[in-house]
């Protein structure tokens, strides 16, 4: 099959599914349609990846789309996690509906927006036009805003409003940055849509005006940085991730943050090419390190379980941003790996968290107890997930964090103590908070329920495999991506 056909499938399946589910999203079979759509998307993503693996980077759809090792790996990850999330959400949303938290319209809305969100993220990744990249990013925000407020509780509405306003403001700054980028590109590439194409931009990045690009990067950093959830632009993130339905928390934490970081990294490559300095990298390192430290200490004070794990997402996005900022082959490799394993581990954790909070009908950690005995899969899943996320061997995050740490010691030794401090505090905080939840007697208010096994097991197995043995094709892939990002 040709690339453009594969791309067409990859993008049109979620879009069509969104339209279909907008009408039938409350029927009995809607979750199955949702799963089917995501599975088809995943299959198309795999097909595309295979082609890129064999043929190398390519353009499609008349320069409108561009696929290389970097974005295709994220596309596969995105479609994979959205598939498992769809599987998880089948049981979860059915239960929420039984509890009366969502109605007919809510279900239709939920399913349609879920697919639209996936479409927006994939468009974001695959488009060659950085203007369209911005539009898709905004679309991804808009499609999830009303999902965060799905339960219509005052706190949910507050969280969604915050999300809408802060991300709207943030992303507007990114648009200004894009305008500046276009201004610089136009000088070299001439007017018209071609001047916004990433493939053209990356070729001429050396000729772009450095002062303008530095200025543009500040705006892009603030804009996309808000969406990545970097401190001090992170205020919306814990609220939005904790108040929405858990499947949405899983995709927000696991995927959307990655996409925003992807956009930021793409821009950074251009800026680096133009300025020939490490300024953009330094800015990213600063934001990253601050995020790690603030998030790690915030973890200590959390009472709400989803809120706590959103802070953990901020911390990990901080690590990845820091590593991309640091640059160099080892750090970039580590960052790419980190994005992958963090996505897998964090969404797995959110799956277990969703079940745990449904079993106890609360998100307060004080009330969640005895998960090992109450439901071994949820208990052990959460335990292993947390062990993975804090960076214990043999899980994949240990590998990526180890790589990043090694690179830091070599290239920026002064940063090492801060990085270690952040990692250490997060380690202690998470394990201390999770231990009482999983161990102990089963409380009488805990309800047993059927849980979705597959997503959790699949994700954790992948994280483990990547930790123990990084498949050749994957490391090959990352090496190619690292080359691209030099």
Q: Name the residue nearer to another protein (CB basis): 234 or 369.
A: 234
By the rule CB under 8 A, 24 interacts with another protein: no
CB of 393 to another protein, least distance (A): 33
Select the residue interacting with another protein from 84, 129, 246, 258 (CB under 8 A): 129
Element at 470 (helix H, strand E) = none
Select the residue interacting with another protein from 5, 99, 190, 211 (CB under 8 A): 211
343 φ, ψ to 5°?
A: -55, -50
Rounded Cα gap, residues 120 and 135, in angstroms: 9
By the rule CB under 8 A, 146 interacts with another protein: yes
Q: Which of 180, 183, 174 has its CA nearest to residue 221?
A: 174
Window 179 to 208, contacts with another protein (CB under 8 A): 179-180, 182-183, 186-187, 191-193, 195-196
Here's the x/- map for another protein, 150-169, by CB under 8 A: it reads as --xxxx-xxxxxx-xx--xx
By the rule CB under 8 A, 450 interacts with another protein: no
Rounded Cα gap, residues 25 and 93, in angstroms: 12
Window 284 to 303, contacts with another protein (CB under 8 A): 298, 301, 303
Q: Name the residue nearer to another protein (CB basis): 162 or 360.
A: 162
Q: Name the residue nearer to another protein (CB basis): 274 or 399.
A: 274
Report how far Cα 373 is from the mean position of its chain's Cα atoms: 31
By the rule CB under 8 A, 315 interacts with another protein: no
List of long-range contacts for 47-56, beta carbons under 8 Å, 24+ apart: 47/1, 47/6, 47/9, 48/3, 48/6, 48/7, 48/10, 48/72, 48/75, 48/76, 49/73, 49/75, 49/76, 51/3, 51/6, 53/473, 53/477, 55/3
Q: Name the residue nearer to another protein (CB basis): 304 or 411.
A: 304
Q: Name the residue nearer to another protein (CB basis): 291 or 400.
A: 291
Q: Which of 246, 245, 228, 255 has its CA nearest to residue 167?
A: 228
CB of 313 to another protein, least distance (A): 16
CB of 136 to another protein, least distance (A): 8
Rounded Cα gap, residues 405 and 401, in angstroms: 6
Alpha helices in 300-375 (DSSP H): 305-326, 329-360, 371-374
Report how far Cα 7 is from the mean position of its chain's Cα atoms: 21
Binding residues for another protein (CB under 8 A): 129, 131-132, 134-135, 138-139, 142, 145-146, 149, 152-155, 157-162, 164-165, 168-169, 172, 175-176, 178-180, 182-183, 186-187, 191-193, 195-196, 209, 211-212, 215, 239, 243, 298, 301, 303
């Amino acid at each position: 099959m040709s690339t453009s056909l594969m791309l067409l499938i990859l993008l049109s399946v979620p879009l069509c599914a969104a339209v279909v589910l907008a009408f039938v999203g409350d029927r009995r079979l809607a979750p199955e349609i949702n799963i089917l759509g995501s599975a088809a998307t995943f299959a198309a993503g795999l097909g595309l990846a295979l082609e890129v693996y064999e043929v190398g980077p390519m353009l499609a759809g008349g320069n409108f789309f561009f696929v290389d090792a970097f974005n295709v790996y994220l596309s596969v990850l995105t479609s994979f996690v959205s598939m498992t999330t769809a599987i998880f959400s089948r049981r979860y949303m059915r239960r929420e509906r039984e509890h009366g938290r969502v109605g007919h319209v809510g279900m239709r809305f939920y399913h349609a927006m879920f697919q639209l969100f996936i479409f927006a993220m994939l468009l974001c990744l695959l488009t060659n036009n950085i203007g369209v990249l911005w539009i898709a990013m905004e679309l991804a925000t808009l499609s999830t805003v009303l999902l965060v407020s799905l339960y219509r509780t005052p706190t949910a509405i507050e969280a969604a409003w915050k999300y809408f306003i802060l991300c709207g403001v943030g992303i507007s700054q990114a648009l200004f940055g894009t305008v500046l980028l276009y201004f610089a590109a136009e000088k070299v590439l001439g007017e018209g849509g071609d001047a916004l194409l990433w493939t053209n931009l990356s070729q001429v990045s050396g000729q772009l005006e450095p002062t303008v690009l530095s200025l543009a990067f500040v705006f892009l950093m603030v804009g996309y940085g808000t969406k990545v959830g970097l401190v001090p632009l992170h205020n919306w993130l814990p609220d939005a991730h904790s108040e929405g339905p858990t499947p949405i928390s899983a995709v927000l934490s696991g995927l959307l943050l990655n996409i925003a970081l992807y956009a930021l990294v793409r821009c950074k490559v251009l800026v680096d090419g133009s300025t020939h300095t490490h300024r953009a990298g330094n800015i990213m390192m600063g934001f990253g390190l601050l995020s790690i430290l603030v998030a790690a200490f915030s973890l200590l004070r959390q009472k709400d379980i989803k809120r706590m794990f959103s802070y953990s997402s901020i911390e990990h996005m901080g690590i990845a941003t820091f590593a991309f900022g640091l640059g160099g082959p080892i750090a970039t490799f580590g960052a790419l790996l980190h994005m992958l394993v963090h996505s897998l581990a964090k969404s797995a954790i959110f799956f277990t968290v969703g079940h745990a909070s449904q079993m106890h009908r609360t998100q307060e950690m004080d009330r969640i107890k005895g998960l090992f005995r109450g439901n071994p899969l949820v208990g052990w899943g959460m335990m292993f997930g947390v062990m993975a996320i804090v960076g214990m061997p043999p899980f994949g995050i240990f590998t990526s964090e180890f790589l990043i740490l090694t690179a830091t010691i070599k290239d920026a030794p002064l940063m090492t103590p801060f990085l270690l401090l952040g990692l250490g505090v997060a380690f202690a905080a998470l394990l201390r908070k999770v231990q009482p939840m999983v161990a102990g007697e089963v409380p009488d208010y805990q309800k047993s329920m059927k849980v979705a096994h597959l997503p959790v097991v699949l994700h954790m197995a992948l994280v483990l495999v990547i930790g123990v043995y990084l498949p050749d094709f994957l490391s090959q892939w990352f090496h190619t991506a690292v080359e691209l990002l030099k």
